[in-house]
Amino acid sequence: MNDSEETNVRRGPSARVSAILTAAGESTRMGSPKPLLRWHGVTLVEYQTRCLLEGGVSEVVVVLGHRAEDVIPFVKGPNVRYVVNSRYREGKTTSIKTGLAAVSLDADAIALLAVDQPRTADVVSRVVTSHIENDTAITSPRYQGHGGHPLIFSARLRPELESISEGSQGLRQVFQNHLDEITEVFFDDPIIRLDLNTPEAYAEAQLFYNS
């Protein structure tokens, strides 16, 4: 993170927003573990946890799976902990539910982000602040008509999140149930849709965002 990013960070309100950072996948297309990719001079998992906390979340639960033992040494810092999803091969919904089981029960809202979706602290702060100020069910960042991440869900939707599955529509079903309770936060920067899925996407993103 550069100095200008840190200067522009807006600290979030006092409500407790817990973040689930999913980092359990096999990184098949990338060819190496995504949590350990370098991003702004540190591993991606370190960058993500730091930006989530600086952006206003109160805790980060990192969900590990594939090669968890290699990633664990980089999951560190106050209010950061990890859990291991033994069922990670069954799909992303299993990681979300594993994270939910570890999130503090007194959380007012739950933010969801994947480790291969690097977001600055300022991006996180805008979404967190909007969610709390609007007291909404779901907050979704948007760029040119398309949704992005992180997503934030009110804690009252926790039972619905706990019931998602690969066999149904996953998070899409939760969205469908609350279409009239979604707050959209509009961004001019495509970073809210950035996903590092392949070596080519990673190299391009490095040139654009890390130069």
pTM of the model: 0.91
Q: What is the pLDDT along the chain (211 residues), one digit of tens a residue?
A: 443 333 333 344 468 999 999 999 999 999 999 999 999 999 999 999 999 999 999 999 999 999 999 999 999 999 999 999 999 999 999 999 999 999 999 999 999 999 999 999 999 999 999 999 999 999 999 999 999 999 999 999 999 999 999 888 889 999 999 999 999 999 999 999 999 999 999 999 999 997 6
CA dihedral 63, 151, 158, 82 (to 10 degrees): 20
Could you give the domains of the chain? 13-209 (3.90.550.10)
